[in-house]
Amino acid sequence: MKKFKKFVASALAAVMVLGLAACGGGGGTSETQAGSGGTAETETTANEILTQETAAAADTSDGTAVDSGAAKESAKDSIIMGYTAEPNNINPGADSKTNAQMVVAMFHDGLVGKAPEDQSVIVPSISDTWEFSEDGTELTMHIRDDIKFHDGTPLTVEDVLFSLDYAVSQGLNASSASVLKSWEDVGDNNIKITLSYPYKPVLQILATPGYSIISKAFYEQCEADGTNFGMVENGTGAYTLESWTTGDRMVLKAYDDWHRGAPAIKDVEIRVCSDETSGALMVENGEIDFFIGMNNADRDRLAANENLELVDAYSAGTYIICMNLQEGPFADNLALREAVAYAINREEILLGGMNGVGSVTPGPITPGYFGYVEGFEPYPYDPEKAKEKMIEAGYPDGIDIEFKVASDSWYSLPAQVIVEQLRQVGIRCDLQIMERAPFLEETQEQLDYEMCYYITWGDFPDADPVMWGKFHSECIGQPMMNFGGVNDPEVDELLLKARTSLDDQERLDLYAELAEMNKENVWYLMVLTTYNAVVINKDIEGVTPIPAGYYNPAFYYWVEA
């Protein structure tokens, strides 16, 4: 068999040699070289710092004492990861794609970090201690003076202030940036961030890759010599960029002076897989060790493979049915909206539209996020009741509606199940499967639709970004925000109260009340949330589910080579 394989390979290869010899090389021009990674000396390891400062950190955040540092001994020091969507660039805060943010987080650190085991737990990073003022509107953070950028230059308070200026100017951070009012150097390596209002999850914002700390000098140098800042890096993170062959792969090298401890995995290659099927085959074949972007259709096959392991993370998003509350048949017709609520069977949608991968979601907040309402009961599936509601709504003979959905399978397939369920109660949908760009323009910005199916998304695990965006009247017409058109002063008031409260229980109660109001008024119908599973080689340890998808090999290690 071995001989046969060799023969096949040689035979196929023979025809190739001429062609490749003819154009040989060439790869060199395609690679973007990273900003030089310098050597840095760190006298105290991250874990020591953490031990010293955990008490302070735990007092001021929701965190408990956790290991924030990098991994243990590894049987092998390299990993090949694969994803289907390559970042457009690696400029922090410029590319909204999850994979772009994931890569940014490998190169950079934020003022604070997240515990690898639990993303809701904040741990020290560039800042080792912090303190909130009594009224919660001022946050004083101490900046470590022993951290160096990859080129060896020390990180200073000036870099931190510049990074905050830079972050709030980036489109990606626009919604969270309004929380931060001003920031200044207050001496002794401390900065003071003044908030626009008391905001408990502000540390979660500062831990997102969009708020990475960058080198001011490096940025200015790039500007001066015309280097594309989005294709290079000089962060303080666990890895440095060795090369980037766009469309093919990124090669990363461990930054051994990383302040959270030298990563056990030294060499990381991130390959672009042409699609989900190729990625699945590559991880099955052992060509890659870690695959992000698995298709639900491949799930059972990959799960059955004894060399692989699936790591399921709840998606940071919830899929929702949205009815236009501003105009059209659903506006001012609660009975019609209730008819829809009674007509949908979430389990069937999950099974038919998502291959059963995920869970039904009755409330507005994804499980695992702060504000998730345990035991929340949605409208039951009751087609008879739905038909009664149709009569009450003034449509005894049924109604024709326009149902818009983006063409991606995770929207269009569940939408087809919904169409059939609604048809059974007399709601006849004209299903319009659209390209994503015009779909967003028509449904989110122009509110030109009657019913649509889309997703809500929270960048960090707190209810505020989702609830504020989805229900506050100031967010009407903003993409991914209040595209239903909810406009209720009472809701606005509750949202503001929940946003600015420093009492966790009060916030939870307020979000539960808002979820109940949403149910009563049928503003949005939450349907399901799915898993963002990653498929990994079973010998890799340390991989924990991350809903936002920012996987970092600095925390992983191999138990077997």
Partner 1 sequence: MYRMIIKRLIMLIPVLLGISFILFTIMYFTPGDAARLLLGDSASEEAVEALREQLGLNGGFFERYFDYIGNIILHGDFGISYRTRNPVFTEVFTRFHYTLRLALTAIIISSVLGVLFGILSAVRQYSIADNVITAVTLFLTSMPDFWLGMMLIIIFAVNLKVLPISGASSWECFILPGFTAAANYLANTIRMTRSSMLETIRMDYVRTARAKGVPEKKVIFGHTLKNALMPIVTLVGVNMGWQLGGTIIIEQVFGIPGIGSLMIQSIRMKDTPVVIGCIMFIAFLSSLINLATDIIYAYIDPRIRAQYVTKKAVKA
Site for partner 1, rule CB under 8 A: 5, 8-9, 12-13, 15-20, 22-23, 26-27, 29-30, 86, 88-89, 94-97, 170-172, 174-175, 228, 230-231, 245-249, 271-275, 278, 281-282, 284-285, 287, 435-438, 440-441, 444-445, 457, 459, 478-480
Q: What is each CA distance from 64 to 11, 58, 127, 377, 462, in whole angstroms?
A: 61, 6, 17, 31, 17
Closest to 191 measured CA to CA, from 164, 214, 171, 230: 164
Nearer to partner 1, 16 or 561 (CB): 16
In sequence order, what are the beta bridge partners of 32? 244
User: How far is 485 from 481, CA to CA, in rounded Å?
Assistant: 9
Distance of closest approach, residue 261 Cβ to partner 1, in angstroms? 31
Closest to 480 measured CA to CA, from 448, 534, 515, 441: 441
User: How far is 375 from 314, CA to CA, in rounded Å?
Assistant: 17
User: How far is 204 from 201, CA to CA, in rounded Å?
Assistant: 5
Distance of closest approach, residue 343 Cβ to partner 1, in angstroms? 28
User: How far is 3 from 459, CA to CA, in rounded Å?
Assistant: 53
Nearer to partner 1, 413 or 440 (CB): 440
In sequence order, what are the beta bridge partners of 272? 83
Nearer to partner 1, 4 or 397 (CB): 4
Distance of closest approach, residue 408 Cβ to partner 1, in angstroms? 12
Distance of closest approach, residue 437 Cβ to partner 1, in angstroms? 3
Nearer to partner 1, 228 or 307 (CB): 228
Nearer to partner 1, 172 or 554 (CB): 172
Rg (CA), the chain: 25
Nearer to partner 1, 24 or 380 (CB): 24
Cβ–Cβ < 8 Å for 426, 398: yes
Nearer to partner 1, 139 or 320 (CB): 320
Beta-strand runs (E) in 62-168: 78-83, 112-114, 122-124, 127-132, 138-143
Nearer to partner 1, 68 or 529 (CB): 529
Instruction: Calculate the CA dihedral of residues 495, 497, 502, 507 and round it to 10 degrees.
Output: -50
Distance of closest approach, residue 86 Cβ to partner 1, in angstroms? 8
Q: Tell me if residue 123 falls in helix, strand or coil.
A: strand
Distance of closest approach, residue 95 Cβ to partner 1, in angstroms? 7
Closest to 203 measured CA to CA, from 98, 104, 129: 129
Distance of closest approach, residue 174 Cβ to partner 1, in angstroms? 4
Nearer to partner 1, 345 or 443 (CB): 443
User: How far is 173 from 205, CA to CA, in rounded Å?
Assistant: 9
Nearer to partner 1, 289 or 541 (CB): 289
In sequence order, what are the beta bridge partners of 310? 535
Distance of closest approach, residue 173 Cβ to partner 1, in angstroms? 9
Element (H, E) at 453: strand 451-457
User: How far is 212 from 553, CA to CA, in rounded Å?
Assistant: 18
User: How far is 536 from 292, CA to CA, in rounded Å?
Assistant: 9
Mutual angle of helices 346-354 and 409-423, in 10-degree steps = 140
Distance of closest approach, residue 420 Cβ to partner 1, in angstroms? 28
Nearer to partner 1, 12 or 188 (CB): 12
User: How far is 79 from 349, CA to CA, in rounded Å?
Assistant: 37
